[in-house]
Amino acid sequence: MHIFPAVVRSLTLVSALAMVATGPAFAQILEKLGDAHRLTPWLLNTGNTIRFCSYASSETRDLDIAVGEAIADRILLDSSFTSLKSGYGIGGEFADEDLYISLTNDCDVVLGMGLGSDAYPAEFTITRPYVSYGYLTIAADAELNSLNDLAATRKVGTQMLSYGAYLFRQYNAVRPADQRWTQLVYADMDLMLTRLLEDTVGVGIIFGPSWRQLRQQRNDSAQVKVLDPVPELASMLNVGAVLLSNNVFMRTEIDKAITDLVDDGTMAAILVRTEFDAIGANAGGF
């Protein structure tokens, strides 16, 4: 699956129990940081508490906190939660460095992180997924049941730098020239919803958690419906947690806890309680 690391990580998902200031990997991250004095691993005393972090602006933060609490409970430890700043640029500049600093100084585990092959530098390790999300096709026109019902003269809104936008572009490109829609790319999903309701845009393709957030924030979103999926646009993003690569023991224990939560139905129940089941989220990933 094609991954856009900067966007995936901003969903926008560690430990410093045994920091070692030697070796190529540590040297590489220190070269980027430029100031080793920003690292204070001796201040992080984990004790009987797993310290979770998540990004303050994440659309999935309430679910991630619920999952963190459930994981800690399975491992028979207490849990605490810290919010991390967000707002990185399109290229995700300095995201790796800040992630490393946070996981050295402030927390053991960062929740709500997109998982993908080679998405993270060697200084980090990832857990198994605890959930996956996909992209939804939405429209305000009650007559539409599928994207393919939309006239070629209409416009389709997509989420900037998203995998959903990439898939739509590929799908649209192989259609006959006279059947191709005009693609409008939006950084602001609130604006895309407004354009749908104004009928400036006929259909929108949006990440599931983004749609859930809009439904919570805007009453007029009830006028918009989710269309039947087009197989060519089907995609899911696995989400889990990130730790420092030297914390293999904790990652292994978290993986076991996630597996138990998925197998006994607890993860599915969390999705229902947080209403992520309504956007087609899958417990345990795909």
Residue bearing tokens 């906190």: 65
Gap between the Cα atoms of 56 and 81, Å rounded? 11
> pTM (2 decimals)?
0.82
According to DSSP, residue 76 is labeled T
Q: Do domains 5-132+237-283 and 135-233 have the same CATH topology?
A: yes
Burial class (CB in 10 A: 0-12, 13-18, 19+), 68: buried
List the chain pLDDT tens, one digit each, 286 residues.
333 333 344 443 322 222 222 233 444 665 666 555 555 554 445 578 999 999 998 999 999 999 999 999 999 999 999 999 876 555 556 678 889 889 998 899 999 999 987 788 888 999 999 999 999 999 999 999 999 999 999 999 999 989 999 999 999 999 999 999 999 999 999 999 999 999 999 999 999 999 999 999 999 999 999 999 999 999 899 999 999 999 999 999 999 999 999 999 999 999 999 999 999 999 999 8
Gap between the Cα atoms of 97 and 133, Å rounded? 26
Read off the amino acid at residue 125.
T
Gap between the Cα atoms of 4 and 191, Å rounded? 22
**Helix residue ranges, H only, 218-277:** 248-263, 266-273
Name the residue among 68, 87, 74 with its Cα closest to residue 14: 68
CATH 3.40.190.10 correct for 135-233: yes
What is the CATH number assigned to the segment(s) 5-132+237-283?
3.40.190.10
Gap between the Cα atoms of 257 and 272, Å rounded? 19
Domain limits of the chain?
5-132+237-283, 135-233
